Amino acid sequence: MRIPLSIPHMSGNEISYIEEALSSNWVAPLGPNVDEMERLARLYTGSKAALATNSGTAAIHLSLAALDIGIGDIVFCQSFTFAASANPILYQGAVPVFIDSEPETWNMSPQALSRALEKAARKKTLPKAIIVVHLYGQCAKMDELMALADQYDIPLIEDAAESLGSTYKGKPSGTMGKAGIFSFNGNKIITTSGGGMLISDDEAFIEKARKLSTQAKEVAPYYLHNRVGFNYRMSNVAAGVGIAQFEVLKNRIQKKT
């Protein structure tokens, strides 16, 4: 018997937000529903800044791009995860190094990370970032992992794609590292059909990612781009679905627990 991660459950209010988007002609990326999705993400997680994207993968990619990770840089990534946790490393031309998991949470092993960092420090090949995954909604051992990231001054990104609603010692998943990402794919606890969110307490970091997510356009009376950007923003129609889903998130969490 197959046990699905999650299956889509509509709240019943989605159609009203979709109709509002259509009647107001806000059918392109961005719009009032996207703004509301970002507000709800900030409110729910307590984060200072949020950026709605068209996928969780895009949110990971933007976090790496905003950290200026590039060709030849090393990024440590959890070994037991979906490919989308690691693919954005390759998008940037960086090198993924996979860190093994531990048996209690199935997430990145602090002991394995410690050994890998010690070895990298001796070889002067420390990573530019660490991507930790909260697999199946179960938070990793963040106290130990964050202590190591802080010790070596390496930004840690939380791939919380599957863990919206989970907490670690009272802290919402995605809020303990430099940045956190959520997915609103169809197999997550709430969905926008396809979508994601990047959160952080570093507002300048999110604004940098926001600019990159809209083709990195400069403020000018003509098209001016000083670096490569991406088309990664969430649709206002999809965000309408997400608003209605956020309204029932607490109920979904209660059913899972």
The whole-angstrom distance between residue 188's C-alpha and the CA centroid of its chain comes to: 13
Pick from 230, 220, 228, 189: nearest CA to 51: 230
Average pLDDT, the chain: 96
- Name which of 86, 162, 168, 163 is nearest 127 in CA terms: 86
Closest Cα partner for 60 from 77, 37, 46? 77
Tell me, what's the pLDDT at 5?
Answer: 82
Q: How confident is the model at residue 2 (pLDDT cuts 50, 70, 90)?
A: confident
- The full set of domain ranges for the chain reads 44-236
Indicate the burial class of 143 (C-beta count within 10 angstroms; 0-12, 13-18, 19 or more): exposed
Position with higher pLDDT, 168 vs 26? 168
pLDDT of residue 4: 82
E strand residue ranges, 95-202: 95-99, 129-133, 156-159, 167-168, 171-172, 179-183, 196-200
Express each pLDDT in 153-207 by its tens digit.
999 999 999 999 999 999 999 999 999 999 999 999 999 999 999 999 999 999 9
56-66 vs 203-213: helix axis angle to the nearest 10? 110
Residue 6, pLDDT score: 86
How large is the average pLDDT for residues 76-83? Answer: 97
Contact call for residues 231 and 26 (beta carbons, < 8 A): no
Which residue do the tokens 């933007």 mark? 62
Q: Is the pLDDT of residue 255 over 90?
A: no
The top-level CATH class assigned to 44-236 is alpha beta
Per-residue pLDDT, 249: 95
Dist CA 134 CA 156 (whole Å): 13
Residue whose pair of structure tokens reads 């608003």 in the numeric block: 243
- Classify 153 as helix, strand or coil: coil
Q: What distance, in Å, lies between the first and last C-alpha atoms of the chain?
A: 21
Q: Tens digit of pLDDT for each residue in 225-249?
A: 999 999 999 999 999 999 999 999 9
Structure tokens at 98: 């996979």
Report the pLDDT averaged over residues 22-33.
Answer: 90
For residue 202 the two structure tokens come to 């570093």
